Structure 1
Amino acid sequence: MSATVPPPLLRRVPPSGWTALVWCASTLFTLLTTVRLPGETEPGQWPAAQLYRWDGLTVTVLSTALVLYGGPLLGRRPLVALAVLIAAAIGETTTLGVGELPMAQYLAVAVALYFVAAGRPRRTAAAGLALAVGTLVGFVAFRLLRGWSAGVSAELAVALVAVIAWLLGDSAHRSREHARWMNERAAEQAVTAERLRIAREMHDTVAHSIGIIALQAGAAVRVAATRPDAAREAMRAVEATGRETLAGLRRMLVALRETDPDPTDPTDPTGPIAPTDPACPIDSVGLGGLDRLAAATTAAGVRVEVRRLGEVRRLPPDVDLSAFRIVQESVTNVVRHSGAPACRVTVDYGEGALALEVTDDGRGHGTATGTGFGLAGMRERVALLHGEFSAAPRPEGGFRVAARLPLPAAAPR
């Protein structure tokens, strides 16, 4: 079993961790600016009277509690999380006696805005930006309407930082979308290339030989009564050409099967589930071998729970084999990359389609096995059958692979 490469340290920190870290750092920075540091003749900013009083310290603690509460909401309710973080920034600002929302207090909001723009749809991200910038405008307008001083220039700088954070997040979001689009395009091109390759093989191996067989057979029919020796010679040519064609077809099938991952690979935790295994009949390389796959993977250390829905029945060979390979590859990814102790496999025998789902509670990173074409290979298999495929982290954690393979109207039962 290959060793799992953990993600970089910075990528392991969730958005809530980053917002909490930035908030603590900015609060510490704010407090440091109110004392005279070495080399200074006076503090960078004189503290407000209430900053170190019990009421000011209470507001600071409550604001920090809001940040710790709002950070985890970024994954589920991003706009609510932004509103909570903005409320925390406003709360701490009231202890500073300043005429604007300072940059330090708004940095956590800018970081949260980045994650919202990077991981959420464009409409949600735009609403978050409007909320963040609108709060700054409203804060300054409120002070001006009351006749108080307002740091308009400083607030413009804070708004600029918030917009830049949003643009960076939006750029990251667009990069991921482009990468996903490129992967889909690569899968479509791979399917097209494979179809063309099969068509060429079929033409080179079959079409020419079948043409010769047809001509020889026609000639044999015409001379069978008048020239039996010539007819026999023609039929011998038909036999020889047929054998050559059969050998070519076998070579083509072998070449096509070699594109699949080697099921006898000792590093494959699914074990020797292959037609070459004398203990495993050839029919088990399909959903009939799912229980054997589950048992082998469980023995490797990851429990596989198999659930079947609908009426279990025989499937077309191509659908049966592709469904098994999709489940096998998904389970292998769980073993090698997710770090989860178990996964769940659901096979739904519907009326018009076979639905597959493999879920786990691991790290939520979809990683292909072997040479890195696991997910692409599954997507190609599904595309060849005109089905639907999806593979993505789950909102509640872990990863989900789902496929829907259409079944012929008269599928064998």
Structure 2
Amino acid sequence: MKRAWANQLWLQVARDVSASVLVVLALWLTTPTPTPALKAAQIGLGMLAIIGVSLRHRHPRIGFVLASVATVVASALGLTADPLLLAGVALYSVAAAHGRRAFPPWLASVVLTILLVTVFIDASGSEELMRYVLFSGIALIAAWALGVNTRIAKDRVATNAAIEERMRLARDVHDVLSHSLGTIGVQAGVAAHIDGLESEQLRATLREVESLSRSSIAELRTLLTVSRTEADEALLAAPLPDLLAETAQTANTAGVRTTLSTSGIEALPISHRVTVHRIVREAVSNAIRHSGASSCDIDVAVTSESLTLVVADNGQGELSDRRIGYGLAGMEERVALLNGTFRASNRPYGGFEVSAVLPLSPAKEKAEL
């Protein structure tokens, strides 16, 4: 999976580099240079701008600084006609990862300054420079606004998903309690009002009541353990492959390209289905809301003895940001209930990974909840 992840990252970088090379060829190298030294400077600054764009996935702020500095210096030397297009691409990633408002105060100040200069300063003889400044400002403003809108759209999708999950949790709790308590009430009422009930029949009824109550407590504990953050979906009736596919589709809708790989998950116990879906859902939600990721991989595999799941994104990979609320704590507790092992960490080549191994042997699962 690491190899596939690295290949995906390199494909994104290769795509950015290819597009940046086309911009440099069209707007940089077509600008005539009077001396070989300026030609070398033109090529070097163009390469620096390309490097800046290639860093936008892992280090968007550094990429923006490199691309913008290289373009401004080249423009001052008359070596490019690029109106900060490459810098705008990097700024889009900065806004998508860290932006909060599509039109922040600093951006309003820049626009106001450009308007004042355009209106009150005589641009006779500097029309080309003024056009360049205006086009550059438009490119940066558009890039920032588009990046922030992308972030807002991701947050909105994640918030709507969380609301839907809470509503489904309420239905789950109602179904569990209404069924179990109703059945227990009927059995207890029958046992209390039949005078001729044999002791063996009474013990059998009490064993049924005990079994049903334990089963209901187990379901409720599984549901309510995670209710401190975002509630579970209605898992007990839906096939796990469908639920995971729905989670992947939610991420794709939010703009995070998500791949799903599963094997042998069709006949898992209810407790494992709930745990797998909840961990995947929470990890994908974190990727959408907090990481600034553009892609995410989900891998769930089952053997005769254990289940292994891995959810990895290509976001910022800052563990401290992921500990807001009880998200990771809820995942750890779910895995602990099944006597499994849980791990959440930054990936060495960028991004964040959540993984868990759950035993499938009944003897290894906890008997009491």
Q: How high is the TM-score relative to the length of structure 2?
A: 0.52
- Equivalent-residue separation in structure 1 for 2:144 and 2:75 (angstroms): 23
Amino acid of the residue matched to residue 188 of structure 1?
Answer: R
SS at match of 2:196: helix
Q: How many residues align?
A: 274
> 2:23 matched to which residue of 1?
26
Amino acid of the residue matched to residue 26 of structure 2?
Answer: F
- Equivalent-residue separation in structure 1 for 2:348 and 2:173 (angstroms): 36
SS at match of 2:56: helix
State whether structure 2 residue 354 is matched by structure 1 residue 401: yes
Unaligned runs of 5+ in 1: 1-5, 35-46, 217-230, 275-284, 286-320, 341-356, 366-374, 404-411
1:280-328 CA deviation, whole Å, 9 max, x = no partner?
A: xxxxx9xxxxxxxxxxxxxxxxxxxxxxxxxxxxxxxxxxx66995599
Shift of 1:20: 3.5
The one of 126, 149, 171 aligned to 1:149:
126
State whether structure 2 residue 90 is matched by structure 1 residue 112: yes
Higher relative contact order (CA 8 A, sep 6+): 2
SS at match of 1:232: coil
Counterparts of residues 2-401 of structure 1 (less than 5 Å): 13-14=11-12, 16-17=13-14, 19-30=16-27, 47=32, 51-96=33-78, 102=81, 104-122=82-100, 149=126, 151-216=129-194, 231-233=195-197, 238=202, 242=206, 261=240, 268=263, 325-326=275-276, 337=297, 364=314, 382=334, 396-401=349-354
Shift of 1:121: 4.5
- Equivalent-residue separation in structure 2 for 1:72 and 1:215 (angstroms): 78
Amino acid of the residue matched to residue 93 of structure 1?
Answer: S
Unaligned runs of 5+ in 2: 220-234, 242-261, 284-295, 301-307, 316-326, 357-367
- Equivalent-residue separation in structure 2 for 1:128 and 1:398 (angstroms): 30
Shift of 1:90: 1.7
1:30-79 CA deviation, whole Å, 9 max, x = no partner?
A: 36866xxxxxxxxxxxx4xxx15212211211212312432344345433
Alignment identity in percent?
A: 19
2:99–2:147 Cα contact (<8 Å) kept: no
SS at match of 1:122: coil
Amino acid of the residue matched to residue 263 of structure 2?
Answer: D
- Equivalent-residue separation in structure 2 for 1:128 and 1:82 (angstroms): 16
- Equivalent-residue separation in structure 1 for 2:103 and 2:69 (angstroms): 19
Structure 1 pair 159–185 and aligned structure 2 pair: CA distance change class (3 A): same
- Equivalent-residue separation in structure 1 for 2:99 and 2:355 (angstroms): 22
- Equivalent-residue separation in structure 1 for 2:85 and 2:125 (angstroms): 24
Structure 1 pair 195–398 and aligned structure 2 pair: CA distance change class (3 A): same
- Equivalent-residue separation in structure 1 for 2:177 and 2:352 (angstroms): 36
1:392-411 CA deviation, whole Å, 9 max, x = no partner?
A: 985843542279xxxxxxxx
1:216-239 CA deviation, whole Å, 9 max, x = no partner?
A: 4xxxxxxxxxxxxxx435868856
1:256-298 CA deviation, whole Å, 9 max, x = no partner?
A: 9776859xxxx73589987xxxxxxxxxx9xxxxxxxxxxxxx
Q: How high is the TM-score relative to the length of structure 1?
A: 0.48
Shift of 1:173: 0.8
1:327–1:358 Cα contact (<8 Å) kept: no
- Computing the radius of gyration from Cα coordinates, the structure with the larger value is 1
- Equivalent-residue separation in structure 2 for 1:391 and 1:182 (angstroms): 25
- Equivalent-residue separation in structure 2 for 1:156 and 1:194 (angstroms): 57
SS at match of 1:400: strand
- Equivalent-residue separation in structure 2 for 1:324 and 1:10 (angstroms): 30
2:52–2:66 Cα contact (<8 Å) kept: yes
SS at match of 2:263: coil
Structure 1 pair 32–327 and aligned structure 2 pair: CA distance change class (3 A): closer
Structure 1 pair 25–261 and aligned structure 2 pair: CA distance change class (3 A): closer
SS at match of 2:78: coil
Shift of 1:166: 1.4
Amino acid of the residue matched to residue 173 of structure 1?
Answer: R
